[in-house]
Structures are given as C-alpha cells and as structure tokens.
C-alpha cells in the first residue's frame, strides 16, 4: 500500500504498540506498528498523540471489541486486502452446507464492518462495503439471511449509516418471500423494518431500479462508502496491484456469476 511506503520502500518505523482486545483476563493482545495504525485510524491517532496513559504505556484497550474481527482488521492494515475468503465450494450440491458457509461469510463481513467503528477507520469500512457488494453480486449469496444481522447493525450504528442501507438492500434483493418464515416477532429492529418498507416501495415505484440490482449498479461507486467529502481509499492507491481485487476472495475457478 502506498501509505506504507517511503521512496518506494516499505517503511513502518520501529515503534510498536499493544492493542488489548476483549475483556480481561480472557483478552487477546495484538502487536501493531504504531505508524501504521495511527495513519489509518483517527481513534489510535488521538489515543497515542497526547500524554494519555495509552501513549505512555503503549497499550490501548478495546474491551468491547471482538478479537477475531480485530485480527482481520490487522490483516487489512498490513496488506490492504480484506480477509473475507469464501468458505467451501459455493457450487456444492450439499444445500445445508452451502447455507452454513454463506452465513459464516456474511457474519465475517458484518462483524468486520462493525469492528471498524472502534478504530473509526473509514477506509477499512469502505473496503469491506466494496467486498460486501462483490459478495452480494454472486448468485449464491441469496442463501444467506442478511436480515438476521439487522439487530447488531442497527444497535451499533446511527440513522443514515451506509451499512444499514447495505443490509436493507441485501435483504430486498437476495431474499425470497418465504425467507420470513420462522422469524420471531421481536427479532427485527423497528428501524430496520421501516427502512425495508421504504426501500421496497422505492423499488416498486422505480422501474429502472427494479431491473438493476444495487450490487451491479453501485459496484465501483462510493454509494455505500462513509468517507463523505474525504478522499476515497481507492484514490489513495496509486498502483492497480494494490487495489483490493475481490476476485481474489474466491478460490480459483469459482469466480463467475453464472
């Protein structure tokens, strides 16, 4: 990644910090280069730039964060690529396994995205939003049940958050009517249901939109990004090789949409 290079050479400096993730004593410690995480994360930049305890102890605690999701964030910090690999063979004839695999992938995407709120890392969230779109454009993504992730998304985000729109669009465009069978009365947040109804109405009204899934319409755009007027992470990358190619998420031979 361009941001890690100085005169074309990888330069992370020598200072490292410890990030303690999860509740003590069952926490997980991660060692990360300070320059790297400060450059990407406004939260770490603030925590380490003042004479706060975190800066002197070189230890930042994230007790509420999930260690598995933070591990994926660290992977992205060092590589620029989200580690949301496809599980198993998406063309397998074992439907039970297919449904299970899609749920694992979707859970990783959602947990990864929500983890991005701790470091307030917009580039990370936008990279995952793009991975989300790529994943959603695959025909077998309809096997997952996105609305089941509405509760954690709506409790961790505010109105207007792009990931809310993402999960609503996902539900609207990948689910059959029968998907609602067995959903408990209190399982879905009211705000999600309101957003879903509005999106459904808009879809019915707009003929052009009705025939064009957002997974294709918004691919390559900033529609689900959170950077507002700030520079998009894609523009920060000056080499094609460094742009996350989401085809690499898929094992060889199964990167088609057929």
Using the minimum distance from each CB to Zn ion, give the nearer residue, 34 or 126.
126
Site residues (CB under 5 A) for Zn ion, limited to 26-65: none
Peptide bond into 58 cis (omega under 30): no
Q: Does 225 bind Zn ion (CB under 5 A)?
A: yes
Which window, 14-22, 91-99, 169-177, 215-223, contacts Zn ion (CB under 5 A)? 215-223
Q: At what angle do helices 95-115 and 67-79 cross, to 10 degrees?
A: 70
CA dist 34 and 45 (Å) reads: 9
Q: Does 125 bind Zn ion (CB under 5 A)?
A: no
Using the minimum distance from each CB to Zn ion, give the nearer residue, 220 or 251.
220
CB–CB of 240/231 below 8 Å?
Answer: no
Site residues (CB under 5 A) for Zn ion, limited to 230-249: 232
Using the minimum distance from each CB to Zn ion, give the nearer residue, 90 or 116.
116
State the number of binding residues for Zn ion (CB under 5 A): 3
Query: Which tokens hold the place of 18?
Result: 């410890």
Using the minimum distance from each CB to Zn ion, give the nearer residue, 138 or 225.
225
Q: Which residues contact 167 (CB under 8 A, 6 or more apart)?
A: 110, 146, 147, 149, 150, 153, 192
Give the residue from 220, 244, 228, 240 showing the smallest Cα distance to 76: 244
Per-residue interface string for the shown chain with Zn ion, residues 171-210, x marking contact by CB under 5 A: ----------------------------------------
Which window, 107-115, 131-139, 187-195, 222-230, contacts Zn ion (CB under 5 A)? 222-230
Using the minimum distance from each CB to Zn ion, give the nearer residue, 46 or 232.
232
**70-89 burial string, b = 16+ CB within 10 Å, else e?**
bebbbebbeebbbebebbee
Least spacing, CB of residue 225 vs Zn ion, in Å: 4
Least spacing, CB of residue 199 vs Zn ion, in Å: 21
Using the minimum distance from each CB to Zn ion, give the nearer residue, 49 or 221.
221
CA dist 15 and 58 (Å) reads: 9
Least spacing, CB of residue 127 vs Zn ion, in Å: 10
Query: Which tokens hold the place of 213?
Result: 């899934």
Candidates 74, 222, 237, 243; binder of Zn ion (CB under 5 A) is 222
Beta strand 59-62 with 16-21 is: parallel
Q: Summarize as ranges the residues that interact with Zn ion (CB under 5 A).
A: 222, 225, 232
């Amino acid at each position: 990644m361009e941001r890690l290079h100085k005169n074309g050479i990888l330069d992370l400096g020598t200072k490292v910090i410890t990030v303690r993730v999860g509740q003590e004593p069952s926490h997980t410690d991660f060692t990360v280069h300070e320059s790297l995480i400060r450059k990407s994360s406004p939260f770490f930049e603030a925590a380490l730039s003042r004479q706060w305890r975190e800066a002197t102890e070189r230890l930042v605690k994230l007790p509420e964060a999930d260690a598995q999701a933070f591990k994926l964030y660290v992977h992205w910090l060092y590589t620029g690529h989200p580690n949301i690999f496809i599980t198993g063979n998406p063309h397998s004839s074992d439907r039970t396994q297919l449904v299970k695999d899609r749920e694992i992938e979707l859970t990783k995407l959602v947990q990864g995205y929500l983890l991005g709120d701790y470091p307030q890392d917009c580039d990370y969230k936008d990279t995952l939003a793009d991975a989300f779109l790529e994943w959603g454009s695959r025909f077998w993504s309809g096997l997952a049940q996105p609305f089941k992730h509405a509760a954690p998304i709506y409790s961790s985000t505010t109105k207007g958050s792009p990931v809310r729109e993402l999960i609503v669009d996902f539900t609207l465009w990948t689910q059959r009517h029968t998907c609602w069978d067995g959903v408990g009365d209190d399982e879905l947040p009211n705000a999600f249901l309101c957003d879903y109804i509005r999106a459904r109405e808009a879809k019915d009204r707009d003929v052009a939109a009705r025939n064009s899934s957002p997974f294709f319409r918004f691919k390559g755009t900033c529609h689900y990004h959170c950077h507002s007027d700030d520079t998009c992470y894609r523009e920060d990358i000056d080499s094609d090789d460094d742009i996350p190619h989401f085809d690499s998420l898929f094992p060889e031979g199964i990167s088609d949409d057929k």
